[in-house]
Amino acid sequence: MNNSDIIRTIRYIFNFKDPKMVEMFKAGGLEVKREQVANWLKREDEPFFEAIIDKDLAIFLNGFIIEKRGKKEGEEPKPEKTLTNNIIFRKLRIALNLKEDDVLEILSSVGMHISPHELSAFFRNPTQAQYRPCKDQILRNFLRGLQKRYRTED
């Protein structure tokens, strides 16, 4: 999945308006204008589309964590320069305070069944032997499951 798809999906699931998106970027440590956010949210074939880079998406996800969980004591988290699906998955899990059973339930709600051992492998340190990279299909299904669980119609 590309970063633009991920940020658009998160915005849709939680029904964030532009001012809220700007606010979350600011909470994560980046001052952006509404126009910049609008360009990141456009589809690739639309005029003025601008792809969001990994570091900016990491800043947004850090702001999302602060939005959902509150500001943490101590030093601000540093945004990653390079994101992987595993990091994105972990940040979403942290922001929504999801336990292992919650994540497994969300995945099974969209027909994806994985074992607790497979799931824990996504959240391990990449240097560990049991670490597994999270494929696009897993992240895409997780986001679809989040949509089923959290999306409310206005």
Q: Where are the domains of the chain?
A: 3-69, 85-150
Looking at residue 72, its pLDDT comes to 80
Looking at residue 154, its pLDDT comes to 55
> H/E/C letters for each residue in 31-92?
CCCHHHHHHHHCCCCCCCCCCCCHHHHHHHHHHHHHHHHCCCCCCCCCCCCCCCHHHHHHHH
| Element (DSSP H or E) covering residue 125 | none
Task: Extract the tokens encoding 65.
Answer: 């964590």
- pTM for this one? 0.93
Looking at residue 121, its pLDDT comes to 97
Looking at residue 73, its pLDDT comes to 81
For the chain (length 154 residues), average pLDDT per consecutive 10?
A: 94 95 96 96 94 97 94 83 97 97 97 96 96 97 96 71
